[in-house]
Structure 1
Amino acid sequence: MTIRSRHESVTFKHPFHIRGIARELPAGRYEVVTDEEMIEGLSFAAWRRVATMITVPKEGARGDITEVHAIGSVDLADAQRIDATAHD
């Protein structure tokens, strides 16, 4: 089975919540990794998302200490939509 990972940066302008993480996260830029597996047996290349992870600052840590959380892609999209419609 072939797996690929896509890396992207997402930016939140406001503090936000995302399902799967029990605390509010600060506004800022976050790295998101999406793992996809190739769907075998087709006559064309097609991929299925199997995992989405976000790197966040570790709670209570100083400096650049981070942790990775598995999240749902729909939950990420919801958080981005809420952030985009929030008023400053």
Structure 2
Amino acid sequence: MTTRTTQTTVSFSSAFLLPGFDAPQPAGDYLVDHDEEAIEGVSRTAWLRVGAFIHLPAIGVRSTMRRMVPITPGDLDAALKKDQT
């Protein structure tokens, strides 16, 4: 099966907390990796998202420890929507 990873940047204007996080994360820009698998069709290929990971800490934050935390796209979307209100 063919897979791909795409990377996006998300921005939070205030602190946020996603399920599985030890503590709230500060406002900032964060890299998010989206893992997808190809679904081969007769006339085209579609991509199914099978996982997502957020890079901690935020972009530009100096830290000796960086990590990728698994997240669900729905939780990320909800947190971004909450951040906009």
How many residues are aligned here? 80
Q: 1:64 Cα shift?
A: 5.0
Normalised TM-score (structure 2): 0.87
Please, which runs of 5 or more residues in structure 1 have no aligned partner?
A: none
Counterparts of 1:11 and 1:64 in 2: how far apart (Å)? 22
State the match for 1:52 in structure 2.
Answer: 52
Q: Percent identity?
A: 38
Please, which runs of 5 or more residues in structure 2 have no aligned partner?
A: none
**4+ residue runs over 6 A deviation:** none
Counterparts of 1:67 and 1:21 in 2: how far apart (Å)? 12
State the match for 2:79 in structure 1.
Answer: 79
* RMSD (Å), alpha carbons: 1.3
Q: Does 1:4 align with 2:4?
A: yes
Normalised TM-score (structure 1): 0.84
